[in-house]
């Protein structure tokens, strides 16, 4: 392993102020991680955090008030966070997801059969956080609350009315139409 002597602190800071780390690293002929290390070594005492910014959770009472009248997805949208962040807040505050009982959960494949859409369409809805209460069990298996089936059926019927997805049509199967995400139901 060869050792490269870093340039002076002023050079590193000047490059970092004008260019991205990748561009500055290319100019110096080193890897981006090497330049990043030099940069952070040049600024001792400045804490470096990579990754997304932490989002402050609302007060427990405020969160409970919103959850009383909104679905989990609507609550997440209200706070401008993803469904997983909301789920983390619920765990941190030890708030049980009262909307859905674990005994009512069915598999994603079964939900697709009941609603008469492809499993991939339901899977896409889950990944977008559009199925209230759906969750992964044991890290892989997706379970859907039985009470969400009516919402899924409504989306499917709206899609048929709009011509987006018609399971009984004589027209050839269109992948994009089958995977189309549902519109929000009001």
Rounded to whole angstroms, the Cα distance separating 86 from 172 reads: 40
Say if residue 13 is in the same domain as residue 35: yes
CATH code, domain with 161: 1.10.1660.10
Rounded Cα gap, residues 170 and 147, in angstroms: 31
Q: Are residues 82 and 133 in the same domain?
A: no
- Residue 140 resides in a domain: yes
Asked whether residue 160 is domain-assigned, the answer is yes
- State mean pLDDT over 135-160: 76
Please report which helix (H) or strand (E) contains residue 105, including its range. strand 105-107
Task: With respect to residue 15, please indicate whether it lies within any of the assigned structural domains.
Answer: yes
Rounded mean pLDDT, 124-145: 80
Quick one: 136 and 110 in the same domain? Answer: yes
Tell me, yes or no, whether 87 and 133 share the same domain. Answer: no
Residue 51 lies in a domain: no
Query: Highest mean pLDDT: which of 22-26, 92-96, 131-135, 168-172?
Result: 22-26
What average pLDDT is seen over the chain? 76
User: Is 14 contained in some domain?
Assistant: yes
For residues 128 and 152, state if they share a domain: yes
117 with 76, same domain: the answer is no
**Domain range enclosing 72:** 60-92
Say if 37 falls within a structural domain: yes
- Distance separating alpha carbons of residues 184 and 56, to the nearest angstrom: 27
pLDDT of residue 60: 93
- pLDDT tens-place string over residues 53-73: 677 889 999 998 888 777 777
pLDDT of residue 91: 87
The total number of structural domains in the chain stands at 3
In a domain, 183, yes or no: no
Query: Do 67 and 112 sit in the same domain of this protein?
Result: no
End-to-end CA separation in angstroms for the chain:
62
Residue 184 placed within a domain: no
> Do 162 and 126 sit in the same domain of this protein?
yes
Q: Is residue 173 within 8 Å of residue 133, measured between CB atoms?
A: no
pLDDT of residue 49: 55
């Amino acid at each position: 392993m060869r050792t490269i002597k870093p340039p002076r602190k002023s050079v590193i800071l000047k490059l970092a102020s004008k260019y991205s780390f990748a561009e500055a690293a290319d100019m110096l002929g080193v890897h981006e991680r090497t330049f990043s290390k030099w940069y952070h070594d040049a600024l001792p005492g400045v804490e470096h955090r990579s990754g997304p910014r932490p989002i402050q959770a609302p007060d427990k009472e405020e969160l409970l008030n919103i959850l009383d009248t909104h679905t989990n997805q609507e609550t997440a949208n209200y706070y401008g966070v993803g469904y997983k962040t909301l789920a983390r807040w619920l765990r941190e505050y030890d708030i049980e997801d009262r909307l859905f009982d674990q005994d009512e959960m069915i598999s994603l494949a079964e939900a697709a059969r009941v609603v008469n859409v492809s499993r991939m369409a339901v899977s896409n809805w889950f990944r977008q956080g559009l199925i209230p209460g759906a969750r992964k069990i044991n890290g892989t298996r997706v379970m859907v609350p039985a009470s969400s089936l009516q919402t899924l059926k409504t989306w499917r019927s709206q899609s048929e009315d709009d011509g987006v997805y018609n399971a009984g049509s004589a027209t050839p199967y269109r992948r994009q139409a089958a995977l189309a995400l549902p519109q929000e139901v009001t």
